Amino acid sequence: MLTVDVVSDPAAFAALKDDWNTLADRFATPLHRFEWFEAGWNAFGEGRKLATFVVRDGERVRAIAPLMVERASGFPRLIIIGNETAEPNAILYADDESLAALTNGIMRHRVPLWLNRVRDDSSEMRSLQSATGARRGPFFANPRNTATARISVVEPWADFEKRMTAQSRQTLRRKLRMAERSGSVRLEVVAPDLASVDNQLQQVFEVESGGWKGRNGTAILSDPQIHRFYSEYGRKAAELGILRLHLLWVDDTLAAVRMAVEVENTLWELKIGYDEQFAKWSPGVVLTHETIRHAFEHGLSGLEFLGRAEYWQRHWPVETEACSAIRYYPLSISSIAALTYDSWDLLARRIAAKWSPQRRRFLKQEEFTDPS
């Protein structure tokens, strides 16, 4: 018989690690592993309460929803641990039966649920829709701008390059020639160990924060919680031997950086940044091209960009997968009050974003020049 418990004690949460990662192996992504959520709770848990839903069959863990409770103007809601990273949300389950027990258990908790990035064509989305459809209360899914992009390695590098548009090939050759006029260009791929990881991550973070992201307050070093998350997760990834830092050098100057992890023969990008003194030749784009080439030449099976699919990624023949933000409000006075508050808050933020010159400049730069 399947039972559903809510784990709110940090010690009980930590005790789930082995069972958690056994389930995570089924999904073959770093975003499902315990280390990701442990770093997320340590970085973002202040002022919040753990509410991790666990489905068990006797002593065996069959499903996990890594959630926590936050309060917005006094109204509680369930969100994914590590929501601030804006990565696709992960729910773990052994099979459809345990997933159904999990989503129904979440609905019975009668607290509004916010999940910002659930893959549209997934068992999780279908189970959430089914569980909410059996109950009274508003359910919303908003697919706006929440796709994620990937590249699959299924052919030789030369054939992959041929599938790029002629314009993209020409643009990348031109950018590389411009880069080479600045000095000797080389890609270095580093797999830090625990002794070196802190210094190497700091080097990456400093480059990432040195440009427009630092000025706009969106860099890792601009936010103590984000900094703590990527520092702690980076150390955990280094301990596991999966952390990869891709460094694009021009002579002895670091022009662009990428923080990633290699899991199940796939590279998963976490952060990218560049030195603005080289902006005229888009070092982030050149780094990405050389990273993709490296993946092909070293036998990887794919590259996951994570984050949100962006315009600049169209230089390469990427595949995209749509995600939706979902909101569920159980039928109760407090929940409907929360819905009213959230609706007005969303409207106010959209109006502010629409009329903010800084936001317009940020979006234009993010989408149409170099990667963030």
366 has pLDDT over 60:
no
Does this model's pTM top 0.75? My answer is yes
Q: Could you report the per-residue pLDDT of 243-283, keeping only the tens digit for each?
A: 999 999 999 999 999 999 999 999 999 999 999 999 999 99
Which pLDDT value is given to residue 352?
Answer: 74
Of 244, 246, 250, 256, the closest CA to residue 186 belongs to 250
Show the 3-state SS of the chain.
CEEEEEECCHHHHHCCHHHHHHHHCCCCCHHHCHHHHHHHHHHHCCCCEECEEEEEECCEEEEEECEEEEEECCEEEEEECCHHHCCCCCCEECCHHHHHHHHHHHHHCCCCEEEEEEECCCHHHHHHHHHHHCCCCCEEEECCCCCEEEEECCCCHHHHHHHCCHHHHHHHHHHHHHHHHHCCEEEEEECCCCCCHHHHHHHHHHHHHCCHHHHHCCCHHHCHHHHHHHHHHHHHHHHHCCEEEEEEEECCEEEEEEEEEEECCEEEEEEEEECHHHHHHCHHHHHHHHHHHHHHHCCCCEEECCCCCCHHHHHCCCEEECEEEEEECCCCHHHHHHHHHHHHHHHHHHHHHHHCHHHHHHHHHHHHCCCC
According to CATH, the topology of domain 149-307 is Aminopeptidase (3.40.630)
Percent of the chain with pLDDT over 70: 91
Residue 273 has, within 13 A of its CA and on its CB side, a CA count of 22
Of the candidates 233, 248, 224, 266, the one whose C-alpha atom is nearest the C-alpha of residue 27 is: 266
pLDDT reported for residue 353: 66
Average pLDDT over residues 310-330: 91
Ordered by start, the domain boundaries in the chain are 2-145+323-357, 149-307
Kindly report, residue by residue over 14-72, the tens digit of the pLDDT: 999 999 999 999 999 999 999 999 999 999 999 999 999 999 999 999 999 999 999 87
In which residue are the tokens 């923080």 written?
Answer: 259
Can you tell me the mean pLDDT for 129-157?
Answer: 79
| Residue listed under structure tokens 């629409």 | 354
* Model pLDDT, residue 210: 83
What is the pLDDT, as a whole number, of residue 136?
A: 60
More confident residue, 75 or 235: 235
Residue 140 pLDDT > 80: no
Band the pLDDT of 134: cuts 50, 70, 90.
low
Using left for φ > 0, alpha for ψ between -120 and 50, and beta otherwise, residue 110 falls in left
**Token reading at 318:** 């990427």
257: tokens are 């950086």
For domain 2-145+323-357, the CATH class is: alpha beta
pLDDT, average across residues 144-157: 89
Domains 2-145+323-357 and 149-307 fall in the same CATH topology = yes
Task: Dump pLDDT digits (tens) for 295-309.
Answer: 999 999 999 999 999
